[in-house]
Structures are given as structure tokens and as C-alpha cells.
Amino acid sequence: MISQPFREEHELVRDALRKFVTHEITPNVQQWEREHSCPREIFKKMGDQGFLGLTFPETYGGSGLDAWATVVLTEEMARSNAGGLSMSIYAHTYLPLPLILALGTEEQKKEYLVPAIQGNKIAGLAITEPGAGSDVASIRTTAEDKGDHFLVNGSKTFITNGSIADFVILVTRTSENGLSLLLFDTKTEGFSANSIDDKLGMHSSDTGELFFENCKVPKSALLGELNKGFYYIMNNFQEERLLGAVMMVSIADWAFKKSLNYSKERSAFGRPISKFQTIRHKLASMATRIEVIKTFAYRAVEEYIALGPKAMNTISMAKVFCSEESSRIIDEAIQIHGGWGYMEEYGIARAWRDARLGTIGGGTTEIMYEILSKTLIEDVAHKNVVETRVEA
């Protein structure tokens, strides 16, 4: 018998999320997309329902559920066809907040984690710079030690929630070879932000450019140990990439089901297009590939629950395979819809635009392959050394 990862508590969350998406998100998506707006009130509404704290301890206002609850959230948010808003919710909940939970003092958790879970404060993770994307080691934003405070100078770009965040976890250079994390309040003097609206997709997600000019940050804002930020971020990337894989599968599944229904309704040459072998076979192929990538994504979740960041190889593979294959599936969904797929009315065009970020965000496909190739080569080299020693 195939094991079922979702228990009763997960299905209760799914039912609640499905109702929330239907009533609070789906009716408003087109307006948010047109306005390029990410409404603050949706964070509060989701916080009130407990959706922002599913996997966090009850001590801090969460529900204490496992990673499968995150999968449920991702799958149900995909039903809204609001990839942008979904991205902002994920970037708020699963990028900065796990770092605060793992590294923060009780005072930091009380000041930042608890209100973020409640939806009273919006959070972001500020890593990428104009000259440093996947190459975290090239970060140039500095936090100079001034005795009783850090003096921050530099800039960040492509930061989800960047211009609406109440605080960000800021990755800064604190020594020649060391990075550190700071809990940065966006009300700090010398800080400014611009919203980046001219994007291919994710229009209902806030994306910001951040600027830091002689910003004084108290020493109490240091998250974790000084100069250990690189290691913290590398571990945190695993959850982000895992979530990216699940999100892409969910968008592809939505697009497939939309295409399946459309093929039964749309007629050509006197019969539904689902009666044409070309379309039937395309749908069968899409369904098969979705089962494959969903199974792979679920396996990565299982390994992450068991091993944490040590599941890096499987997560990297899942991120690459699921995002690349999902993009192809969604592209085929547009083809099935024909001219209507190119229009905004059916939502497939939006899904295609939003999903295009999947092979870029959280580490590009090329970076994932580089990580995997290095790991595989090192594993082979290590195995050869061990075998040589045994033979000797």
C-alpha cells in the first residue's frame, strides 16, 4: 500500500485554506495583478486564521505541525492562481522566520517572530544585490562595528516584500571573509526602498530595491553568531528550494486540470478538442509527468523531515527537475488553450509568467547543477580513496 503523508490535521488545514482562498483571494486576484499590489491586510487575515504559523511551535503562536502542512499551504495557494501573492506569503513565512526561530534570542522572537506569525508585521529576507545573486560570497553590503552599534551601508535588489516589509533579515559583510545576519527594522533612519513593478510575472508580489545609507543598527539586532551568516543562509536555502519545487508542481497541476476541463468544453470541427488524439495524448503525457514530479517533490519533503539540510542533493535535484518540467507542462497548457491561453481571461498566461521564475529564484538551474556536480564528484573521489585504503 502506498503511504499517505497527509493526516487528519493536515486535511483540516487544507479544508480551511481552500475556503479562505475561495472567499478572500480568488475574487481579488485580477485587481491585485492589475494594480501590481500585495495587500497588507491579507497577511493579517492569514495570521488570524493561523496559516502563517503552521509549522512553528505553539509557544510563539504557531500550530506545531510538520513540513507536510507547508505542502498543504503551497498546494492550496496554487489554486488561487495568484503566484505573486503566494510568493510574498512564502517569502514572509518560510525564508526569514525559520532563521529567527533557530537563531534568535527570546527577546528577538518576541519582537519579530510572534507578530510575524500573527500577520501584524511583514518580513523579508534581504540577500541578493545588484552584483551578487546566487553567489552569496560576493555580497558587498557592509555592517561596520562601531562599538555600540553596526553602521550599515549598501543595497539589495529583487527582495520579495522589500518595499512593504516592517523588518528584513539583512545579510551583511562584517569582515573580509565573514557574513552576518541582522534583524533590520525598515523604520531605521537612512533606509529607503523602491518597489520594482516592471516584471514579467508575480505582479501581485511586492519586489523591492533596498538602500542603506549610514544606518545605525543596535548590536542586539545580530541574529546568531557574528560572521556565521554564510553557513546559516546555506542551510536556509534548502527549505526555500524544497518549497520552490512543491510550488512549481502545484502550479503545473492547476494548469493541467484547467486544460483538461477546457478540452472537454472547447469544440473544433464539430466535436470537443478532447476527442482529438493529439490533445488526448498531450493530456496523458502531462498527467504522467505531474505524477512523476509530485512523487519526487514528496520524496524530497520526506528526506528533509528526516535529515534536514543534509538532504541537499535530493532537494537540489527536485528543485531543478520539478521547476524545469513544470514550466514545460504549463507551456503545453497554453498550447491546448490556443488563442485563449494567450489571453488573461483563463489565467493560464498568468501561471506561465509566474512559473517562469521557478528556474531562477532560490538558485538558478545552472547553480543547482553546479552544486550537484561538485557533490557527486567529491562523493566519487571519497569512495575511491576509501576503496583504495581497504584494498591496501
Task: Select from 366, 372, 369 the least CA-distant residue to 311.
Answer: 372
**Pairing state between β 167-175 and 123-126:** parallel
Is-catalytic flag, 240? Answer: yes
| Residue in 76, 240, 303, 325 annotated catalytic | 240
Task: Select from 152, 125, 123, 124 the least CA-distant residue to 140.
Answer: 152
Nearby residues of 217 by Cβ (< 8 Å), 6 or more positions away: 143, 149, 150, 151, 152, 182, 184, 188
Q: CA–CA distance from 55 to each of 13, 73, 153 (Å)?
A: 12, 11, 34
Hey, how many other C-beta atoms are within 10 angstroms of the C-beta on 200?
10
Query: Per the structure block, which three cell numbers stand in for 105?
Result: 534570542
Torsion sign over Cα 186, 133, 375, 288: positive
Pairwise CA distance, residues 53 & 62, whole Å:
4
Residue 352, helix vs strand vs coil? helix
> Following CA atoms 171, 175, 176, 177 in sequence, which dihedral angle do they give, to the nearest 10 degrees?
-70
Q: 181: which strand partners?
A: 171, 223
Contact 156, 162 (CB under 8 A): yes
Query: Per the structure block, which three cell numbers stand in for 110?
Result: 518576541
Q: CA–CA distance from 137 to each of 141, 204, 226, 227 (Å)?
A: 11, 30, 15, 12
Pairwise CA distance, residues 82 & 20, whole Å:
13
Grid cell 484547467 is found at 258
Residues serving a catalytic function are: 240
